[in-house]
Amino acid sequence: MITSTILGLLIPFIGTSLGAACVLFMKNELSVKTTKMLSGFAAGVMIAASVWSLLIPALEQSQSLGKMQFVPAVTGFMLGMFFLLILDTITPHMHLDNSVEGPKSNLSRQTMMVLAVTLHNIPEGMAVGVLYASWISGNTTITRAAALSLAIGIAIQNFPEGAIISMPLHSTGSSKLRAFVYGVLSGIVEPIAGILTILAIGIIEPVMPYLLSFAAGAMIYVVIEELVPEMSEGGHSNRATIAFMVGFCLMMTLDVMLG
């Protein structure tokens, strides 16, 4: 059980690291069309994961509340979105379009770009950690396969995210090795968030439905605030929409087949 859990927590991080490694082998910067498609794909995966892996299990675990079983899911979802909103407000970070958010700081462009991606990865690490914590606790609505499917799905969408962060860093003046390291560091927060969640299993077990939906709300915030603007930047993109569909269907398929 311990080995399976550690591997599961590392899978998303491995996906980010492999994506960041693209900068070591690719000569040219990612095109705008490619970046849009990757953002669309990531958005599709995250929305499907939020629904099938997090919100539906949260509702299933609250069936004892009868007609009020929606309360934990709604409450957790809103708290998750507000949590990311607060982090987004207090953390200085830079997006791919060079727009800066958060308080003024003297941080370098590279550091602020890494912080932007790190904010994306916090809810993903929490989501994987919550599912593995639920499985460890013996919750019958969450299986090891369900937790693994979420970890794999997030790793798949983390691969392009790793490339999206490392390639622009190299184009703005960082060496390939430095850009790769920054890309890897942006993903290290995922296993850390997952481990912290599991360590608190004795405390979180009674409120598992709230935490499942909390992670879903945080992930949906990232999609709305970050990925949708990136995939639609500069006008409508049919390719990004198709990539979204592919990502959504892939994550849904993984969750149903493995979960």
Give CA 68 to chain center in angstroms: 29
Residue 22 contacts residue 147 (beta carbons within 8 Å) = no
DSSP H helical segments within the chain, as ranges?
Answer: 2-20, 32-48, 56-60, 70-90, 109-136, 144-171, 176-187, 189-199, 201-204, 208-222, 228-232, 238-258
**In whole angstroms, what separates CA 227 from the centre of its chain?**
11
Q: Binning pLDDT at 50, 70 and 90, where does residue 205 land?
A: low
Residue 96 has pLDDT above 70, yes or no: no
- Structure confidence at residue 98 (pLDDT): 67
Q: Where are the beta strands (DSSP E) in the chain?
A: 93-94, 100-101
Instruction: State whether residue 101 is helix, strand or coil.
Output: strand
Confidence of residue 81 (pLDDT cuts 50, 70, 90): very high
pLDDT at 235: 66
Query: Left, alpha or beta for 173 (phi > 0: left; psi -120 to 50: alpha)?
Result: left
Mean pLDDT across 198-227: 84
Most confident of 84-93, 162-171, 215-224, 234-243: 215-224
Residue 141's pLDDT is what?
72
How far is residue 91's CA from residue 217's CA, in Å, rounded to a whole number? 19
pTM of the model: 0.86
- The runs of H, that is alpha helices, within 200-237 are 201-204, 208-222, 228-232
The full length of the chain comes to: 259
Q: pLDDT category, 258, cuts 50, 70, 90?
A: confident
Cα separations in angstroms, 237 against 32, 39, 116, 187: 11, 11, 23, 28
Q: If we measure between CA atoms, which residue out of 114, 138, 164, 166 comes closest to residue 61?
A: 138
Q: What is the chain's mean pLDDT, rounded? A: 86
